Amino acid sequence: MEDYTWNLWHGCHKISEGCKNCYVYRIDSGFEKDSSVVLKTQNFNLPVKRSRSGGYKIPSGSFVYTCFTSDFLLEEADDWRVDAWKMIRERSDCTFCFFTKRIERLQTVLPTDWQDGYENVIIGCSVENQSAADKRLPFFLEAPIKHRHIICAPLIGNIELSSYLDRDLIELVSAGGESGEAARPCSFDWVLDIRRQCVEKGVAFKFHQTGARLIKDGRLYKIDRKFQHSQAAKANINFGDNIGE
Ligand code: SF4
């Protein structure tokens, strides 16, 4: 089954260290576009768009990467998100996955029928370093969510995660370095340490990309964008069943 990307609004505001080299800003700058202006996109209603035959354009069973040119929980999108939740609800036959650095806002913007979470929504809480983890993960664990992933990216420091790794609550921890010309180096030791914590707690772990600069055995490797996923896969350090492709 093909994966889809649903960028329903575009633009965001930098809120933490992990945002420093945000790829939305990086790509927009090439088009002299101001990424701090948040606008709905033409694809806003993609999940419920229909083809001429009358069926949904996105087939049943699809995986939909949601809101990757903004943050789904951004304040400016509060009014638009009401309709977004309705579309996600209507397409309960598809899985929607979004990452956020604003997890503390989730409980104030949930739809009324959310209860303990929609079965078809995966939420990834992004944490780039220890302070982000300590700030965001307590909200993440408390929130009513059916499928939780912790996204340690762009990883810019070691993170002690153990106290947050409840295998009944966290389905996957994913780690990755930063991309782009100005990428900060990621140490492979940090990646391995997060993996160790996951193994000890029985939580699935995935090394999803190396980033552009990886330090391994004291040496700095510069890795071209097109090899960052494949090189991470070659490290062969994924753990558990829930690691996807
Ligand atoms: S929250 Fe995400 S999209 Fe928004 S500025 Fe930070 S890195 Fe970019």
Statement: residue 245 has pLDDT above 60:
no
What is the distance of C-alpha 106 from the center of its chain? 15
- Alpha-carbon distance 105 to 122, whole Å? 16
Question: To the nearest whole number, what is the mean pLDDT of the chain?
Answer: 97
As a whole number, mean pLDDT of residues 66-92 equals 98
As a whole number, mean pLDDT of residues 80-103 equals 98
Distance 99 CA to ligand 1 centre (A): 10
Q: Whose CA is nearest to atom 3 of ligand 1?
A: 70
Statement: residue 52 has pLDDT above 70:
yes
Burial of 52 (0-12, 13-18, 19+ CB in 10 A): exposed
pLDDT-derived band at 243, boundaries 50, 70, 90: low
As a whole number, mean pLDDT of residues 139-164 equals 98
pLDDT-derived band at 244, boundaries 50, 70, 90: low
pLDDT score of 186: 98
As a whole number, mean pLDDT of residues 146-163 equals 98
- Alpha-carbon distance 244 to 201, whole Å? 19
DSSP-derived letter for residue 42 is T
C-beta of 70 in contact with ligand 1 (< 6 A): yes
Statement: residue 23 has pLDDT above 90:
yes
**Which ligand 1 atom minimizes the distance to the CA of 12?**
4
pLDDT score of 219: 98
pLDDT score of 2: 81
DSSP-derived letter for residue 108 is G
Closest to 185 measured CA to CA, from 161, 207, 208, 216: 216
C-beta of 135 in contact with ligand 1 (< 6 A): no
C-beta of 101 in contact with ligand 1 (< 6 A): yes
pLDDT score of 241: 78
As a whole number, mean pLDDT of residues 51-62 equals 96
Calculated CA dihedral for residues 49, 54, 56, 57, nearest 10 degrees: -70
Statement: residue 18 has pLDDT above 80:
yes
Statement: residue 214 has pLDDT above 60:
yes
Tens of pLDDT along 173-211? Answer: 999 999 999 999 999 999 999 999 999 999 999 999 999
Q: Whose CA is nearest to atom 8 of ligand 1?
A: 22
Between vectors from CA 96 to CA 91 and to CA 99, what angle results, nearest 5°?
Answer: 155
pLDDT score of 242: 63
Domain ranges within the chain, ordered by starting residue: 1-13+20-95+104-111, 127-245
- Alpha-carbon distance 61 to 40, whole Å? 25
Distance 176 CA to ligand 1 centre (A): 16
Q: Residue 142: CB partners within 8 Å, gap ≥ 6?
A: none
